[in-house]
Structure 1
Amino acid sequence: MSKIYSALVFAVIFIVSCYPKKPATQQQTSASIGANNYDSAPFVSPEESVKKMILEDGFEIQLVTAEPDISSPVAMNFDDKNRMWVVEMQGYMTDADGSEEDKKNGRIVILEDKDKDGRVDERKVFLDSLVMPRALCLVDNGILVAEPPRLWFVEINNDKAGKRTLVDESYTEGGNVEAQANSLFRAMDNWIYSGGSEKRYRKVGDKWLTERTHLRGQWGITQDDFGRLYYNNNSQNILGDYFLPGLGSGNENLQRVRGFNERIISDNRVYPARPTPGVNRGYKDNVLDSAKRLVSFTAACGPALYRGDLFSKQYYNNVFVAEPAANLIKRNILSGKGFTTEAKQAYQGKEFLVSFDERFRPVSLYNGPDGALYVVDMYRGIIQHKSFLTDYLKNEIKKRSLEKPVNCGRIYRIVPKNSSIKAVEMPASPSKLVEMLKHPNGWVRDKAQQMIIDGNYVKAEGKLRELMTKNAGDLAGIHALWALEGLGLLQSSDILPLLKHKDWNIRAQALSALPSTMTNDNVVKYKPVLQEMIEQTDTLIAPYLAFQIGKLKPFDAKVITDLYQQISGKYPNNIYVTDAVVSNLKGQEATFYRRMVQSRPDTTQAIFVQLRKTISDIKSNESNKDANLLRKQYPRGASLFRSTCQPCHGADGNGVRALAPPLNRSEWVTGSKETLIAILLHGLSGPVKVNNKVYQAPEINGDMPGIGSNKDIVDEDIAQLSSFIRNSWSNEAEKISREEVIKIRKKFESRQGSFTAAELEGTK
């Protein structure tokens, strides 16, 4: 079974490894509660479910709320009163057919612990009659709500929904629930980012800004103390960015900017406490071990980078990842080396939290205002969407009666045993909010910065500038910098000293915020400083320089060309500088290449290699077919591609890093009709060679599920989808008919499981 919403075109990583023995404590607990008896998965009370959990020594898990006060929770935010705003997605997979997904039964609710005993005792419905809501974000005096396909801003009037403003009519695209954008994470740089999306949003006055950004993960997003983002996909433990999120996304011709969407950890092994046969590809070799336990992530989601002040210091900067298919939460230890980051699993052979309750489905994790780690448990049997629900999993659902009940849910918090827990009361005073930027709890610092901006507390300018100056090297100073930026008060006189700060992290923050201060009057002050920074040998700050030089273009287009030549010459084989430069050359790649060749004879350097590749990609895209004509010719195929294939293979068909290989110029697509139909019906397991390159895990997910068992997708749909991709982009091949699909479906009607490349070689 896979995680809710994760794009499962490639569903289970294909890793061959031996499963180590469980730690004694887990074995003993397993024996004592009969965990090896997995023939049934009964609904149990929250109290009984807690008894079925094993948590790392020294911690305890506390129930915050449960049904009937919460129903099908998938996401939440805390407000400045420590109340939880929760998304209830009640229409999701209420049965194996997903028959209630069009019902207006979704809600946004406000949950409050009024008597301060740690348990929710008041529930208010803020917004109801929503169809499959999936994300929310508190901002200004309102809330962003994602209700596919739209993104709304709803004003808050005494805890009641006020005026609605349409922010984006296409926030999510396509009908596949698992592949739609989500999370709406308000980052340190004052922009709101989403998992599974290439858009970011920001409210400035009464207007909403929308900009292109990097595609990030699938479900969930989190940040570290410096504002770098972390996320994952269903089979990857942690992915993330080396650089601050607003950089390097301005050139669509550059298919990938290195330093973003990086694999932070390559170890995707999981250690469930109980047999987990109810995963979507449980019948395949190496998906489950000999004890029927999941081997590797198949539903990684909802990461939270712990920045609280309640756990001991060794847990700070750890990334916790939910795995609902295996009923566990993993802990990873993050570390940095220069501007790069990496992580390792905290343990081998065990997890931070495991459960013997198959219905325990942690889907989102959060830092809390009290320093606790919060767990959103959807508590249900089915979490795999119908789009990729295999016959095997349907049988597992039926065998253990996993369809009912639905619309339950729990929210827990994890705390150290015997700890004194108290949520921070956020002040209303602007000056006191500035002081809160020094707080050891990252949630409090973030919220204080947001409240200063949302309240438009320009009267705090002096205290913010003082804090930024005196505490420039501290986290408080960084928050003060971005608070000023959010208020529109940041000036060149603030940035220029920070560009010479001894701490490279501060120089990076200053460079990232620099564009918001540029004017015709002060840009002359920046040119010599940037020139001087380029001349220095500073490999840590060089990529940031290369990203931000382009911001001078509206003021002096010639000088940036000279500066790019200089920084490219100084770091000709630095891949991060190279990509940063090219990310600012949209439409000028060939011109810049010719200019570089005239002054630099060695065209084997990284800058030349990347420019040639980008120029080649541009020419290839120019020869692509007219997409509108194809959509008219194969309307159902185009729709199915957008909802089912595009999230992993990309709109341009060139594949998505960490997910899937290209469909464009792929012999698997344009070759044998039988091969392509067989893959679409039953799936394909890696490794796979496309256009002379071998793709395999962990570069991509190792298993593409078929769609032949989805009763909503008929033979004509598959015929149109096949024909659409065989003639999209640079592809050109004979179309496929419904009759040909029927023939191949019948030929392999007894097959269960995906094909391997070797099995299909004879049909190509």
Structure 2
Amino acid sequence: MKKYLHLLLLPAMACTLYCCQGSGSKNKQQVVNTPGEVTAEEAARVSLESSPVVPAEASINLMQVADGFNVELVAAEPLVNTPVAMTFDYEGRMWVVEMQGYMPDTLGTGEEVPNGKIVILEDSNSDGVADKRKVFLDSLVLPRAICLVDDGVLVAEPPSLWFYEIEDDKPGKKTLVDAAYAEGGNVEHQPNGLLRALDNWIYNAKSAKRYRKAGDRWKVEQTHFRGQWGIAQDNYGRLYYNNNSENVLGDYFTPGFGATNKNQRRVSGFNEKIVANNRVYPLRPTPGVNRGYMEGILDESLRLANFTAASSPVVYRGGLFGQEYASNVFVAEPAGNLIKRNLLDENGYVTSGAQAYEGKEFLASIDERFRPVSLYNAPDGALYVVDMYRGIIQHKTYLTTYLKKEIGRRDLTQPLGYGRIYRITPKNKEAKPVKLPANPQQLVRLLGHPNGWVRDNAQQMLLDRNYRQAIPALRQAASNTKEPLKAMHALWTLEGLGALQADEVLALLRQPAWPVRMQALSVLPSVMDSTNVKRYVPVLEQLVSSNDTLAAPYLAFLANHLQRYDQAAAQNLLQQLARTYQANDYVADALISNYQDREKALQKQITAFVADTSVAIHKRLQRVLDNIESKKVKNDTQALLKEFPKGAAVYASTCQTCHGADGNGVRSLAPPLNQSEWVTGEKAKLISIVLFGLTGPVRVNGHLYRAPEINGDMPGIGYDKSLSNEDIAQLLSFVRKSWQNDAGIIHPEEVGQVRLRLKDRQEAFTVEELNKL
């Protein structure tokens, strides 16, 4: 206890030394340097002389949680080792992903060693603490996600996605689902999540693919690109995610729509900023963040100011916390050793949110090694926290010299092999797990349970066990809109069983309650066919004529499915919507999503009855036409891959996830490289950006990109000593010759010269600094 006693004293020291921390720079304590007086930064440094490993139970004492809540230990080392993700099975056991090979040191030595595992943790005596460990899979290289489905388990082990049948808690037949699941990108930028959603599809973060098992076959479809680490759904199946510097992003619409036009770079209503405030309030100084040397990253007391490692947003749906916590979004910030709580507000189909507290967090710790990386709803209604518990969480690709020094200063490299799982529960409430019965009728009743985990898993168990005997009870539940959540789950369970009938959907389309109509519109693509399309058309047209503004974007999306069976009806529906909602961005983008490679024809058609070219439908359509032009490739892609193989590989692993395979940038992450004056312009500036990064607003092709349109900081890769001058020269030459770029190549000697000239530099560049080079 003595070796980390100073950590226990730190909150009192913090209160004395730097008082109340405000929500912005204007509230930071103004330090007056007088003889003999220490600054807040100096005081913070004194408190950070070491960062010892703290036993799991003692680490709870270093946490500050919101009033009325407890933090309880569920599992700790040696029972669990470096956990990064988990899920619960129908028996309430935890299936945990252990990424033991991640960053053993600042060089990432040995990351390729196959020491990752999937383990099953069980609470055999029902005391709330796991006491049994069973290894299901071992010898994995950096596994990152799992999903239980159809008496088997999906396992993400880059670059592949595998499905293992489960036989008595042991892996059976192994099937390759997707050989390119995590193709390209480094450990921080590869797909993960594997969320089995309300619509029976499996969605991912950092990915534009979704998956579904149909008998012995796996369906893979394109969807919207979403987030970075972790993905969650609300009660209506809408998805929430984020990236490392954004609190909460998400979709206004259900996830099956809008990703049908490859020429559309952005569809309004998807990848929206739900909570714009990215301020965080650590309980302790947090200098050990990758860009802590930059102005504005840390405050005067060395505390992180804004998210830098935001991850795993979860919509709380457990029912145990009380009504005021229903559908709150909790977000983990492992670099700040905290968990944030956000409140949501719905206005029509637009969802927005705000932080629950000012100046504090739902949970924060003064233990630097407390690394909450994933959050989950659970069978007992509690909020579960996966704590990776380690010193290093930044991957080597972007590890700055500054952070390496911080790691060395407090000896954060060692020890390894730790990890904890906690649960957060309200005081004076028993968190009792719900046991899922094998009886189909009882499972149907659980579709209306207050705990969203129970509802989701009752639905999934009915599907996985193919309980067709439950169909009559499901039909009755789907028609009982007095219990809307139960009706929604019953609807999608019938869809998953292939038993949903046209009459059932038609009845729900006429319901006055919007959430029910939303689900009926969302399920239509699964049930509409040539035999029943004529029955749906009058109802869809009536929704337009009745000015159902909430349904309008959904109707526009549905035209894509309607045109397969009735071109005339689809055309009529699109024209009605274009006339009625010509100024609505959401309807405009939904309409355009139906017209891949027919955008010019649509423009001609729209102009005939919408003359005002300043309205949304024209402006959004012109953006797509401009994007089509920007994607035209001047150079031979295959020839570039042969000429610059190392450069192409580095681009795929390091740059592509933010700048896009087409070089046109990714929303919320990075601006375009295609036709960028920074790429095709002065070599020294480009080399400097790639070596050391770029921070702040940047103008590209006449447009000023700044947060939140993009991430405000681009990390440099010059800190990665494994990347030679030749590698970086090839990367930059590849980019300068790709897409519509046609600039001269960069030689290794030119990279070396810049590296030598800037050898003492640690900070990312600003545009102003680059213009002075």
Q: Same fold (TM over 0.5)?
A: yes
> Is 2:727 the partner of 1:711?
no
Alignment partners' CA distance in 2, 1:36 and 1:292: 12
Q: What residue in structure 2 maps to residue 433 of structure 1?
A: 443
Q: What residue in structure 1 maps to residue 670 of structure 2?
A: 660
SS at match of 1:593: helix
Q: Deviations over 1:636-684 (max 9, x none)?
A: 1111111111111111111111111111111111100010001011111
Q: What residue in structure 1 maps to residue 550 of structure 2?
A: 540
The 8 Å contact of residues 35 and 274 in structure 1, kept in 2 or not, is answered as no
Alignment partners' CA distance in 1, 2:384 and 2:89: 14
Quickly say closer, same or farther: Cα 1:19–1:63, change in 2 above 3 A.
Answer: farther
SS at match of 1:185: strand
Q: What residue in structure 2 maps to residue 49 of structure 1?
A: 59
Listed as ranges, the gaps of 5+ residues in structure 1 are 1-14, 23-29
**Residue 473 of structure 2 is aligned with which of 463, 471, 479?**
463
Q: What residue in structure 2 maps to residue 669 of structure 1?
A: 679
Alignment partners' CA distance in 2, 1:417 and 1:627: 61
Give 1:204-353 correspondences, 5 Å limit: 204-353=214-363
> Is 2:181 the partner of 1:171?
yes
Alignment partners' CA distance in 1, 2:609 and 2:550: 26
Q: What residue in structure 2 maps to residue 6 of structure 1?
A: none
Q: What residue in structure 2 maps to residue 360 of structure 1?
A: 370
Q: What residue in structure 1 maps to residue 745 of structure 2?
A: 735
Q: What residue in structure 2 maps to residue 407 of structure 1?
A: 417
Q: What residue in structure 1 maps to residue 3 of structure 2?
A: none
SS at match of 1:233: coil
SS at match of 2:173: strand
Q: Deviations over 1:498-526 (max 9, x none)?
A: 11110122111111100111121111111
Q: What residue in structure 1 maps to residue 100 of structure 2?
A: 90
Alignment partners' CA distance in 1, 2:25 and 2:214: 51
**Residue 146 of structure 1 is aligned with which of 147, 156, 163?**
156
> Is 2:521 the partner of 1:523?
no
| Letter in structure 1 aligned against 2:306 | S
Q: What residue in structure 2 maps to residue 133 of structure 1?
A: 143
Alignment partners' CA distance in 2, 1:117 and 1:47: 16
Q: What residue in structure 2 maps to residue 25 of structure 1?
A: none
Alignment partners' CA distance in 1, 2:720 and 2:652: 16
Give 1:678-717 correspondences, 5 Å limit: 678-717=688-727
Quickly say closer, same or farther: Cα 1:19–1:125, change in 2 above 3 A.
Answer: farther
Q: What residue in structure 2 maps to residue 12 of structure 1?
A: none
Name the TM-score, length of structure 1 as normaliser. 0.95
SS at match of 1:111: strand
**Residue 481 of structure 1 is aligned with which of 491, 496, 500?**
491
The 8 Å contact of residues 278 and 396 in structure 1, kept in 2 or not, is answered as yes
Quickly say closer, same or farther: Cα 1:197–1:404, change in 2 above 3 A.
Answer: same
Percent of matched pairs sharing the same residue: 57
The 8 Å contact of residues 361 and 377 in structure 1, kept in 2 or not, is answered as yes
The 8 Å contact of residues 632 and 740 in structure 2, kept in 1 or not, is answered as no
> Is 2:596 the partner of 1:581?
no
The more displaced of 83-92 and 529-538 is 529-538
Number of equivalenced pairs: 740
Alignment partners' CA distance in 1, 2:154 and 2:381: 25
The 8 Å contact of residues 345 and 351 in structure 2, kept in 1 or not, is answered as yes
Alignment partners' CA distance in 1, 2:137 and 2:520: 40
Q: Deviations over 1:313-363 (max 9, x none)?
A: 111111110000010011111111110111111110000111010000000
Q: Deviations over 1:574-630 (max 9, x none)?
A: 000000001111111111111222333222221111212212221332344332221
**Residue 633 of structure 1 is aligned with which of 640, 643, 651?**
643
| Letter in structure 1 aligned against 2:554 | Y
Alignment partners' CA distance in 2, 1:437 and 1:469: 13
Alignment partners' CA distance in 2, 1:542 and 1:472: 24
SS at match of 1:679: helix
**Residue 37 of structure 1 is aligned with which of 28, 31, 47?**
47
In the TM superposition, structure 1's runs of 4+ consecutive aligned residues that sit over 4 Å from their partners are 19-22, 33-36
SS at match of 2:224: coil
The 8 Å contact of residues 579 and 609 in structure 2, kept in 1 or not, is answered as no
Q: What residue in structure 2 maps to residue 187 of structure 1?
A: 197
Alignment partners' CA distance in 2, 1:527 and 1:72: 54
Give 1:383-394 correspondences, 5 Å limit: 383-394=393-404
The 8 Å contact of residues 197 and 203 in structure 2, kept in 1 or not, is answered as yes
Q: What residue in structure 2 maps to residue 502 of structure 1?
A: 512
Q: What residue in structure 2 maps to residue 444 of structure 1?
A: 454
Give 1:734-753 correspondences, 5 Å limit: 734-753=744-763
Listed as ranges, the gaps of 5+ residues in structure 2 are 1-22, 31-39
SS at match of 2:461: helix
Q: What residue in structure 2 maps to residue 27 of structure 1?
A: none
The 8 Å contact of residues 16 and 286 in structure 1, kept in 2 or not, is answered as no
Q: What residue in structure 2 maps to residue 17 of structure 1?
A: 25
SS at match of 1:644: helix
Q: What residue in structure 1 maps to residue 656 of structure 2?
A: 646
Q: What residue in structure 2 maps to residue 724 of structure 1?
A: 734
| Letter in structure 1 aligned against 2:184 | G
Q: Deviations over 1:375-401 (max 9, x none)?
A: 000000000000000011011101100
Alignment partners' CA distance in 2, 1:90 and 1:420: 33
The 8 Å contact of residues 473 and 503 in structure 1, kept in 2 or not, is answered as no
* Shift in Å, 1:702: 1.1
The 8 Å contact of residues 36 and 275 in structure 1, kept in 2 or not, is answered as no
Q: What residue in structure 2 maps to residue 114 of structure 1?
A: 124
* Shift in Å, 1:19: 5.1
SS at match of 2:386: strand
Q: What residue in structure 2 maps to residue 552 of structure 1?
A: 562
Alignment partners' CA distance in 2, 1:409 and 1:396: 21
| Letter in structure 1 aligned against 2:540 | L
Name the TM-score, length of structure 2 as normaliser. 0.94
SS at match of 1:440: coil
Alignment partners' CA distance in 2, 1:75 and 1:86: 6
* Shift in Å, 1:728: 1.2
SS at match of 1:468: helix
Quickly say closer, same or farther: Cα 1:97–1:509, change in 2 above 3 A.
Answer: same
The 8 Å contact of residues 644 and 731 in structure 2, kept in 1 or not, is answered as yes
Alignment partners' CA distance in 2, 1:577 and 1:244: 14
**Residue 373 of structure 1 is aligned with which of 383, 389, 395?**
383
The 8 Å contact of residues 231 and 239 in structure 1, kept in 2 or not, is answered as yes
Quickly say closer, same or farther: Cα 1:429–1:36, change in 2 above 3 A.
Answer: farther
Alignment partners' CA distance in 2, 1:755 and 1:318: 37
The 8 Å contact of residues 44 and 302 in structure 2, kept in 1 or not, is answered as no
The 8 Å contact of residues 473 and 506 in structure 1, kept in 2 or not, is answered as no
| Letter in structure 2 aligned against 1:277 | P
Alignment partners' CA distance in 2, 1:608 and 1:454: 46
The 8 Å contact of residues 633 and 738 in structure 2, kept in 1 or not, is answered as no
Alignment partners' CA distance in 1, 2:513 and 2:559: 20
Quickly say closer, same or farther: Cα 1:430–1:204, change in 2 above 3 A.
Answer: same
Q: Deviations over 1:12-55 (max 9, x none)?
A: xxx97345579xxxxxxx9xx99961121001100111111111
| Letter in structure 2 aligned against 1:378 | M
The 8 Å contact of residues 665 and 731 in structure 1, kept in 2 or not, is answered as yes
The 8 Å contact of residues 53 and 353 in structure 1, kept in 2 or not, is answered as yes
Quickly say closer, same or farther: Cα 1:19–1:189, change in 2 above 3 A.
Answer: farther
Alignment partners' CA distance in 1, 2:185 and 2:668: 22
